[in-house]
């Protein structure tokens, strides 16, 4: 018996090695910038309740408090791109990474409806502070949806207990301080309503890449 893995969706996890120091610093930085001059001017119909969304140029700010996060995210994404595409190091040096990045400060009652991130190849979410969910531990969690539209059209004992990576249905991710999740930008996801008494703070981003020539694949 030989199993061939087809159409696997990568969901990739990284943890910042100095998250105990970085996350409190970022929390203070973002809360001090929950102001109109930092707010994105587009109102999105997927965002409801108390959700503050910043401008999308976050990774190009020069503030020293942000640089450890920017370097960590870029390093994690570059490693992901290199390994999953089997690119050679010389080609990686010629790649150009362009980012949209922003922070969300979510207070009680805020949530984000189902959406994806067009015009990018990779997206990610870095948790600064998951807040303090109430009785329901699923508050503020992220649910990713199975992109195979017909995968669950019929279920019976033959497929209802398939194990990863062949399982059907959505996957839920609970945020932890300093943890980064990377995923393909096409992947539909939502954020469950959050009712905690302290702010939930995350940084999200999209990335698209350019190159001067077609890549060579390593053997």
**Helix runs in the chain, H state only:** 19-31, 67-85, 89-92
CA distance 189 to 161: 22
pLDDT confidence bin for 179, thresholds 50/70/90 = very high
Nearest to 167 by CA among 1, 5, 12: 5
For residue range 62-114, what is the model confidence (pLDDT) as tens digits? 999 999 999 999 999 999 999 999 999 999 999 999 999 999 999 999 999 99
List, as one string, the DSSP characters of 18-47.
THHHHHHHHHHHHHTT-SGGGB-SPPPTTE
% of the chain with per-residue pLDDT over 70: 97
For residue range 124-163, what is the model confidence (pLDDT) as tens digits? 999 999 999 887 888 999 999 999 988 888 999 999 999 9
Q: Could you tell me which residues are beta bridge partners of residue 15? A: 179
pLDDT confidence bin for 15, thresholds 50/70/90 = very high
For residue range 204-214, what is the model confidence (pLDDT) as tens digits? 999 999 987 66
Q: Tokens standing for 101?
A: 């990045």
Report the pLDDT value the prediction gives residue 133, as an integer from 0 to 100. 85
- CA 133-135-141 angle, to 5 degrees, is 45
Nearest to 189 by CA among 132, 116, 128: 116
**Residue 70: DSSP 8-state:** H
Ordered domains of the chain (ranges, CATH) = 12-40+48-148+166-210 (2.60.120.620)
Report the pLDDT value the prediction gives residue 217, as an integer from 0 to 100. 57
pLDDT confidence bin for 219, thresholds 50/70/90 = very low
């Amino acid at each position: 018996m030989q199993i061939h893995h087809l159409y696997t969706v990568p969901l990739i996890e990284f943890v910042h090695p100095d998250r105990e120091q970085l996350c409190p610093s970022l929390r203070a930085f973002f809360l001090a910038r929950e102001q109109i001059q930092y707010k994105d001017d587009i109102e999105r119909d997927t965002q409801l309740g108390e959700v503050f969304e910043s401008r999308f140029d976050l990774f190009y700010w020069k503030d020293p408090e942000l640089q450890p996060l920017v370097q960590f995210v870029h390093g994690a994404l570059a490693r992901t791109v290199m390994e999953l595409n089997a690119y050679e190091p010389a080609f990686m040096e010629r790649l150009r990474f362009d980012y949209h990045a922003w922070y969300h400060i979510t207070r009680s009652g805020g949530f984000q409806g189902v959406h994806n991130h067009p015009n990018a190849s990779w997206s990610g979410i870095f948790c600064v502070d998951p807040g303090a969910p109430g009785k329901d531990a699923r508050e503020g969690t992220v649910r990713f949806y199975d992109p195979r539209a017909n995968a669950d059209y019929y279920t019976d004992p033959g497929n209802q207990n398939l194990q990863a990576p062949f399982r059907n249905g959505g996957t839920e991710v609970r945020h932890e301080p300093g943890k980064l999740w990377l995923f393909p930008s096409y992947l539909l996801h939502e954020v469950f309503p959050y009712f905690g008494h302290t702010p939930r703070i995350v940084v999200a981003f999209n990335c698209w890449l350019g190159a001067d020539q077609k890549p060579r694949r390593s053997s």
